[in-house]
Amino acid sequence: MESHGISAATQAEVKQYLDFILEENRANKAQEESMLAMLSDNLREKIISEINGKILKQEKIFSTTFGTRFLSVLYHNLIQKTYAPRELIFDVSS
């Protein structure tokens, strides 16, 4: 923002707003996890499978490439990960 000549006051306001949004997202995520933990294993698994299924169905490559049985197994085994910008996720040399 400095390179665009944005004032320090506006930059501080943007930072404060983004910090607030990030904290709200963290709180919501913690609340969701807490609510899921209260459910029976069967219900928790059903919800997670539905959520993961919707995510995968949004990507055409999954629905056109893989069968229902494989996708069902994949739905149950997805693990959500969040990465920072420019964070190394996969190193080809490894």
Any idea where the domains of the chain sit in the sequence?
1-38, 40-87
Name the CA dihedral angle for 57, 60, 65, 68, rounded to a multiple of 10 degrees: 20
3-state secondary structure string, 73-85? Answer: HHHHHCCCCCCCC
Cα distance between residue 62 and residue 59, in whole Å: 6
Cα distance between residue 80 and residue 57, in whole Å: 16
Give yes or no for a contact between 75 and 52, defined as CB atoms under 8 angstroms apart.
yes
3-class SS shares of the chain: helix, strand, coil, % to 5:
70, 0, 30
What integer pLDDT is reported at residue 23 of this predicted model? 82
Q: How confident is the model at residue 21 (pLDDT cuts 50, 70, 90)?
A: confident
- Higher-confidence position of 38 and 26: 38
This model's pTM is above 0.75: no
What integer pLDDT is reported at residue 25 of this predicted model? 81
Query: Which of 4-8, 18-22, 56-60, 78-82 is least confident?
Result: 78-82
